[in-house]
Structure 1
């Protein structure tokens, strides 16, 4: 490494866990970032600052004024410009020692394999489910580690997928929610600092994976709540391990069953006894709910023993993801049959 590099990266080279060897690994690694929006902006800044040798940026969108409250790479004079090209120009100004490649178009099934093949690691900061599944499936096919992040209102998620035999995105979310359940920032809003927090965590995971230190979030899903600073980490079971567990269980019933609102309504009409628990946040419950008791997922662990016994325990949330996590928590200590339901319309 030359003197300019040693001077620029001095503060992180001083870290025993990283050192000169880690800095060399960063310089020799190529990272592709999917999306140069809320999550992409902070993680791109930190990857460029850390000295990742080659950074690719793929995004077909242009900068809009509504982006500026959270997408910290852009300014008013960038309005109307392609995000990938604009972000690449700014990263080159930040660190002229690295290579930055812009792909000013959206990722698609036609270009995914060719684009991802040139990179060692992929970071998904996209904001829609089709892209997330495309990125995941491409990384699995090409055997590329994937660092995933997402944000919604006040909540963010981060995980490391397809890393050293660990689970992939489909192990956590086997299928995309129904179209009516797929909300985004443009429809539901997002607090400005949240993508900065989640994007920074993604960048931190990227550096850890490249340099090989610390505990990576492989096989784990980190969920951060900006309303109360609650942070929890849930274990993700690889798909193969799930199948093995079901095989060993023989005819034993699954931990939970997923039902629709129609089936729930039939239970109500027949006056069948059940307990409905909404595991979303309080503000979401107040905005829209289908009745039942509200217990946030983050508070559930401490309140499990207080839940009155019912033969049927129904858990609901917006997409089903929180309900699945809640079911896993409850099944460790309770014996009821667990059912999961998604709220099909949270804007009523």
Structure 2
């Protein structure tokens, strides 16, 4: 027992000696850092700044020596510094941080502006798209002067105009497995401001491989949601959605619409979550999801499932590597395209389809026919072709008697038998589905108009409104 007691005493003595050495080293480091700051400040001042009347550098810039914030930064971010819970340390953390925003659209617009305004040290923005007129109602970072130009160029210019001290890195390219790891590795955390399923899985998996926190938002119609993935033991996107939804359940703003302010709200909240993580202040939404209902003005925060031990990417037995990420086919996995362009389906044989030009010729020749517009009623209210009959695809089967009656009425009016039947929609996809149904129900001569109203505007009538 005495031997053990002597050994313990020696260990305690050694610990105390090391602590003393540590304290001396920390004091030396602090002194050298202070000397370095004072020297740097003196070198930056013009030679005749003081004219021999200024107090010493250490007196003038004592605050700068303590926290590293120059006077212009103190003034710019003074409202942040006045917050007891945020203060100097929170702002200093922001100035040293780097955040990547994937997407410069409805979500990315407010997120980028607030990140720049609040002083994030380095901001990256990825997008391969160009600014269009129909972006203006929600993508507030862009102006009409940039229509037809790169969204990244436009967004970067806006960020720099808000805060010239922030570094903005532009990636005018599509995000792919071939470049994502290299780009993501340069940033502390990632904001997903995209609006398609394959991109969500790809961005999530890349963040897991690199150990990056992911702030994910979504907005559609009058609803939005927001959460933080892969942060402090929280779940990743795949933990919640191990299996992609069917393609028919995947909607985008270009198809279903969105009230402009809704992505604005969600994008602003994405910036808030990123700021909380970067500054080390507050409680990020990890393990929780915020749900916003613009119609009723309600906001709910709900608990979501924790990290799944069986997750293919972050689970206990997961073996998902950088090499596996590069080889993964996200379009095949989700059965949908990474492209922002709407899909062009080919569901029926060519003999069951006619071009817009051919339909125009047949109408011009007085052919007996009826045209069924299978878009939803609120789409039909926007614009429609003359003499078309609106029967939405969702109700087509139950309204087939109307189709038969319309055909008989057209035949009687033209004094012929066998009037033709055509279908049209916005882009030529639902019209094909309508033809499939009509063929199944006995209307074997039904044909769809290729490309729908979008092609009509391009091929037949440039003045026909596009939407």
TM-score (norm 2): 0.51
Tell me what 2:134 maps to: 66
**What SS is found at the alignment partner of 1:240?**
coil
Describe how 1:306-325 pairs up with structure 2 within 5 A. none
What is the rounded CA distance, in whole Å, between the counterparts of 1:69 and 1:59 in structure 2?
Answer: 19
- Report how far residue 233 of structure 1 moved: 1.7
TM-score (norm 1): 0.69
The Cα offsets for residues 141-200 of structure 1, whole Å up to 9 and x where unpaired, read as: 000000000001011010011001111111222222111111100000000111111111
Describe how 1:329-340 pairs up with structure 2 within 5 A. none
- Report how far residue 242 of structure 1 moved: 7.5
Alignment partner of 1:168 is 2:236: yes
Tell me what 1:237 maps to: 305
Select 2:293's aligned residue among 214, 219, 225: 225
Tell me what 1:130 maps to: 198
Alignment partner of 1:144 is 2:212: yes
Q: Kindly indicate which of the two structures has a greater share of residues assigned to strand.
A: 1
Tell me what 1:83 maps to: 151
- Report how far residue 231 of structure 1 moved: 1.5
Give structure 2 stretches of 5+ with no counterpart: 1-68, 312-377, 379-392, 396-467
Whether the aligned pair in 1 keeps the contact of 2:99 and 2:124 (CA below 8 Å) is yes
Q: Kindly indicate which of the two structures has a greater share of residues assigned to helix.
A: 2
Question: How many residues matched?
Answer: 247
Cα gap change, 1:221 to 1:288, in 2 (>3 Å): farther
- Report how far residue 238 of structure 1 moved: 2.4
Cα gap change, 1:144 to 1:74, in 2 (>3 Å): same
Higher mean C-alpha displacement, 85-94 vs 146-155: 85-94
Select 2:252's aligned residue among 184, 199, 203: 184
What is the rounded CA distance, in whole Å, between the counterparts of 1:178 and 1:170 in structure 2?
Answer: 15
Larger Rg over CA atoms: 2
Give structure 1 stretches of 5+ with no counterpart: 244-282, 290-348
Higher mean C-alpha displacement, 123-132 vs 232-241: 232-241
Cα gap change, 1:165 to 1:132, in 2 (>3 Å): same
CA RMSD across the alignment: 1.7
Describe how 1:1-348 pairs up with structure 2 within 5 A. 1-240=69-308
- Report how far residue 241 of structure 1 moved: 5.6
What is the rounded CA distance, in whole Å, between the counterparts of 1:230 and 1:242 in structure 2?
Answer: 34
**What SS is found at the alignment partner of 1:214?**
coil
- Report how far residue 113 of structure 1 moved: 0.3
What is the rounded CA distance, in whole Å, between the counterparts of 1:97 and 1:13 in structure 2?
Answer: 18
Whether the aligned pair in 1 keeps the contact of 2:215 and 2:226 (CA below 8 Å) is yes
What is the rounded CA distance, in whole Å, between the counterparts of 1:288 and 1:25 in structure 2?
Answer: 53
